[in-house]
Amino acid sequence: MVIGRIADGIVQGVEDASAALSESLFEPVIRIGVTGFARAGKTVFITSLVANLMDRGRMPGLVSAADGAIVGAWLQPQPDDTVPRFAFESHLAALTGPAPHWPQPTSAVSELRLSLKVQPRGFMGSFSGPRTIHLDIIDYPGEWLLDLQLLERSYDDWSSEILQRAADRPSAAGFLQALESVDGDAEVTEPAAQALAAAYIGYLGAAREAGFSDCTPGRFLMPGEMAGSPALTFAPMPPQEARAPRGSLRREMERRYESYKAKVVKPFFRDHFARIDRQIVLVDLLGAIHAGPKAVEDLGRSMNDILGAFRPGRNAWLTRLLGAKRVERILFAATKADHIHHTQHGQVTAIMEAMLRQARDRADFAGARTNAMAIAALRATVEETRTVEGRELGMVRGRLESGKEAVLYPGTLPEDPSRLLVPAREGAERWLDGDYSVMRFAPAPGTLKPGEGPPHIRLDRAAEFLFGDRLK
């Protein structure tokens, strides 16, 4: 056990440990993980959260901001020297500058430290001076969490599973053909390995486009700084009775798969995931509803897969790594709620809660508090009500990315979540009750006022759930 931990690099230097100890006594650190699949809204969320914590005029739902306990907030160098810093300034400039636009997509882990000066309120507060509390915010792709499953799977097991699923997917045709044309027992050459990996990555991209998110290895579509390295240049191959000969293509693919697990997956869980105290999982639920029942079902399944990482006991290696440490709170937030009128936010929350309940029913999170809500990290629309054929309809108005103004009536979400979730589970092709539309609104110009961060919906409530209790 002890040996295993040393081998996994868990034991920190003595200096490190004592620094961490004094920091935790006097200046507590809360590590907040922000995850979700690509385009879920992680970058926009972190940018707006940090801006709204620095200028707290729009944060009445964060108790310690509303009652004045937070007396200051500033950015600091983060503690992890080798993790890219979250590009807060340039993302904020994109969102709130003279020609506001959405930030560039990102595909790797990044981190930011925001420090808060907090003067505790109430009776106890009058005895103590202000405290400093550090929020370390870690942005990482949800796709990477799916890799946890690989740790307990051999190359052959993983290959058979992937190939079985690929068998009846049209998007896999190219890759399957590429597999046919190689001889796994032949001596490996780098061009052959690269060609096969490229065909596999092509398939994963197409599968994701088609709405599937069971796309392991998670780094193949989100390579970060590792694009092109051997650990990311392999593909599944059909298992054979006999072990592949030394130096063969199949043997090399197996070696790289093992290397991916040891050098990519494990370090991520060890260095980032294992240290998270509070977690927010962002979900583009409205986008999935717009795409149809199959996308909603797939989203539910992949939420469940993501959550696997937060269930102690599910994976022996992770359980050993975490020891007694647990994520204390997990928030599931449906993003981009500014696409719909507030009269429908309750329905979005109900659908999120129902999806979460399904995931929760399969296993619990061992004491972690969970919550679901609908938020917009950056509100790009204003609401208006129009009377159409004698009926009052709540709509949203915003500027499209083309610069044109548009009014959107996205459709009415059902009060009862099962009206969406049951057809999704039953594999329906389309919604019976109607269509749900989304538009890509651009961030609105001129929204910043002195003392206020960017406009949002329930970002303050999300913050209160995530770390409000630690600021009191």
Ligand X SMILES: Nc1nc2c(ncn2[C@@H]2O[C@H](COP(=O)(O)OP(=O)(O)O)[C@@H](O)[C@H]2O)c(=O)[nH]1
Contact residues: ligand X, CB under 6 A: 36, 38-44, 102-103, 105-106, 335-336, 338-339, 376-378, 380, 440-441
Q: In the complex with ligand X, which residue's Cβ is closer, 336 or 461? A: 336
Q: In the complex with ligand X, which residue's Cβ is closer, 45 or 155? A: 45
Query: Under a CB-based contact definition with an 8 Å cutoff, are residues 83 and 111 in contact?
Result: yes
Query: Under a CB-based contact definition with an 8 Å cutoff, are residues 265 and 148 in contact?
Result: yes
The least distance separating ligand X from the CB of residue 103, rounded to whole angstroms, comes to: 6
Tell me which of ligand X, Mg ion, none is bound by residue 102, counting a contact when its beta carbon lies within the kind-specific cut-off of 5 to 8 angstroms: ligand X
The least distance separating Mg ion from the CB of residue 454, rounded to whole angstroms, comes to: 16
Cα angle: 445, vertex 446, 448; to 5 degrees: 120
The least distance separating Mg ion from the CB of residue 123, rounded to whole angstroms, comes to: 43
The least distance separating ligand X from the CB of residue 264, rounded to whole angstroms, comes to: 20
Q: Does 91 bind Mg ion (CB under 5 A)?
A: no
Label each residue of the chain as H, E or C: CHHHHHHCCCCCCHHHHHHHHHHHHHCCEEEEEEECCCCCCHHHHHHHHHHHHHCECCCCCCHHHHCCCEEEEEEECCCCCCCCECCHHHHHHHHHCCCCCCCCCCCCCEEEEEEEEECCCHHHHCCCCCEEEEEEEEECCHHHHHHHHHHHCCHHHHHHHHHHHHCCCHHHHHHHHHHHCCCCCCECCHHHHHHHHHHHHHHHHHHHHCCCCCCCCHHHCCCHHHCCCHHHCCCCCCCCCCCCCCCEHHHHHHHHHHHHHHHHHHHHHHHCHHHCCEEEEEECHHHHHHHCHHHHHHHHHHHHHHHHCCCCCCCHHHHHHHCCCCCCEEEEEECCHHHCCHHHHHHHHHHHHHHHHHHHHHCCCCCCEEEEEECECCCCEEEEEEEECCEEEEEEEEEECCCCEEEECCCCCCCCCHHHHHHHHCCCCCCCCCCCCCCCECCCCCCCCCCECCCCECHHHHHHHHHHHHHC
Q: In the complex with Mg ion, which residue's Cβ is closer, 90 or 177? A: 90
Q: In the complex with ligand X, which residue's Cβ is closer, 297 or 338? A: 338
The least distance separating ligand X from the CB of residue 383, rounded to whole angstroms, comes to: 13
Nearest residue (beta carbon) to ligand X: 102
Q: Does 335 bind Mg ion (CB under 5 A)?
A: no
Tell me which of Mg ion, ligand X, none is bound by residue 39, counting a contact when its beta carbon lies within the kind-specific cut-off of 5 to 8 angstroms: ligand X
Count of residues that interact with Mg ion, criterion CB under 5 A: 3
Tell me which of Mg ion, ligand X, none is bound by residue 338, counting a contact when its beta carbon lies within the kind-specific cut-off of 5 to 8 angstroms: ligand X
Q: In the complex with Mg ion, which residue's Cβ is closer, 103 or 411? A: 103
Q: In the complex with Mg ion, which residue's Cβ is closer, 43 or 159? A: 43
Task: Select the residue interacting with Mg ion from 106, 335, 349, 370 (CB under 5 A).
Answer: 106
Q: In the complex with ligand X, which residue's Cβ is closer, 31 or 42? A: 42
The one segment of 90-98, 101-109, 124-132, 348-356 that binds Mg ion by CB under 5 A: 101-109
Tell me which of ligand X, Mg ion, none is bound by residue 38, counting a contact when its beta carbon lies within the kind-specific cut-off of 5 to 8 angstroms: ligand X
x-marked contacts with Mg ion along 61-80 as a string, rule CB under 5 A: --------------------
Enumerate residues 30-59 that contact Mg ion by CB under 5 A.
Answer: 42-43
The least distance separating Mg ion from the CB of residue 107, rounded to whole angstroms, comes to: 7
Q: In the complex with ligand X, which residue's Cβ is closer, 102 or 268? A: 102
Sign of the alpha-carbon dihedral angle for 14, 19, 20, 25: positive
Tell me which of Mg ion, ligand X, none is bound by residue 290, counting a contact when its beta carbon lies within the kind-specific cut-off of 5 to 8 angstroms: none
Q: In the complex with ligand X, which residue's Cβ is closer, 64 or 302? A: 302
The least distance separating Mg ion from the CB of residue 93, rounded to whole angstroms, comes to: 16
The least distance separating ligand X from the CB of residue 400, rounded to whole angstroms, comes to: 11
Q: In the complex with ligand X, which residue's Cβ is closer, 41 or 410? A: 41
Tell me which of ligand X, Mg ion, none is bound by residue 397, counting a contact when its beta carbon lies within the kind-specific cut-off of 5 to 8 angstroms: none
**Binding footprint of Mg ion on the chain (CB under 5 A):** 42-43, 106
